[in-house]
Amino acid sequence: MPSLASLLNASTTSMPDYDLDAAAAPEVVLPPHLPPLPPDTPAPPPPFEPLIKCHHDFLSLEYDLATAVICGMYLIFGVVYSIFGYRCFKAVMFLTGFIFGSIVVYLICLQETLLPPYGNAAVALSAGLLFGLITMLVQYVGLFMTGFHTGLFLAFIGLAAADPFYRPASAWVTLAILLGGGLTLAVLNLACQKWLTILGTSLYGGAILAGALDYFVEKFFMVYWLWERVALKETEKVPCWFSWVILGIWPFMVTLGLVTQCAVTGRGIYHQEMVPSKHVRNAGQQPRIRTREQRAELRQKKYRYLYQVRTAHGDVISQNYVQALQRKACLPGESSTLQSDATHLTILPADQSQLAALTESEDDSRSMAGLER
């Protein structure tokens, strides 16, 4: 039987050497039903990470004066467009051309960098004023531009909504979709003028109202984010919950504008009836000219009648006086100068001796009564 010392020596010689680091960090053994993870697999996110992220922790209240004034005006324009767009047809046509022309010319001036900032603004405002007058005075140009903006906004909405599911291959495809939508609605707006104008003004008003409000809340973040979706750009910033609230103002104003204009402000009017043509204005003046001619003709007839009465029968008072002289001065069988051929007077019958001349006011009243009949 071996001794206790020999057993201890055998156990120490057969015991393996253990690493302390390996003992401190034992190997993780996966359950047999799960496959082993590849070595390059990233670590999973923590289980309690918040799902809603914001691109900033606080809102900045520092505004640029010029931009704030312009956005404040756009807030008013947005309400006017959405609620009173079709009723204020001429004003809406002018604002549409003015905004489009000034923005396009200002962007071109920024690319050229030939003038200082105030010079670029002055050139852009002058071009916008000229283009606004054209869209206001030439009706078909204003309708074409309104339809063009409607098509642009509808294509923009379609591209932004389809971004999570489909993205065009290049920016040229996006540009073709925008221009195609704008030109299609521009031509259709010339065919169906009233209802597409109501749709276009509601859509345009909601867009500029939401964009102006977005500046005061988060400095155009939602506008830039939507443009990056359409322009096929990548961004790491995620809109906050109030960004989606601002974006929701757009469809709300579109719905409110459509209902209000179709039921109240745009009901019973048509834009071509607001500005009558030259032929209609001349036709409206013809009855007035005929009335004056008739009144002048009636005055001439009245004077002609009075002249005929006085030359044929003499004055009524003078006839009575002459008759009295004839009865008193003339004896039977004697001739008087009053009864000579040179001074012969035609004596009116007794029933017409009380005839009096009509005054101008009485004749006018009678002539007007005759016209009314």
pLDDT digits (tens, 9 = 90+) for 172-202: 999 999 999 999 999 999 999 999 999 999 9
SS3 category, 314: coil
Of the two residues 350 and 113, the one the predictor is more confident about is 113
Q: What is the DSSP letter of 273?
A: H
Q: Report yes or no: 316 and 348 within 8 Å, Cβ to Cβ.
A: yes
Higher pLDDT, 233 or 353: 233
Domain residue ranges of the chain, discontinuous segments joined by +: 65-274, 277-327
Residue of higher predicted confidence among 27 and 70: 70
Does residue 251 carry a pLDDT above 90? yes
Predicted confidence (pLDDT) per residue in 259-300, tens digit: 999 998 888 888 777 654 454 455 445 444 457 778 777 777
Q: Looking at 43-57, 145-159, 215-229, 296-310, which range is the least confident one? A: 43-57
Neighbours of 151 (CB within 10 A): 23
Predicted TM-score (pTM) of this structure: 0.59
Burial 124-137 (b: 16+ CB within 10 A, else e): beebbeebbebbbe
Contacts 24+ apart (CB under 8 A), 360-364: 360/299, 360/302, 363/298, 363/299, 363/302, 364/295, 364/298
Is residue 142 within 8 A of residue 93, CB to CB? The reply is: yes
pLDDT digits 0-9 by tens, 55-90: 555 567 788 888 899 899 999 999 999 999 999 999
Question: 239: how many CB neighbours lie within 10 A of its CB?
Answer: 19
261/206 Cα distance (integer angstroms): 14
Quick check: 241 pLDDT over 60? yes
* Residue found by looking up tokens 């100068």 in the block: 337
CA distance 274 to 91: 13
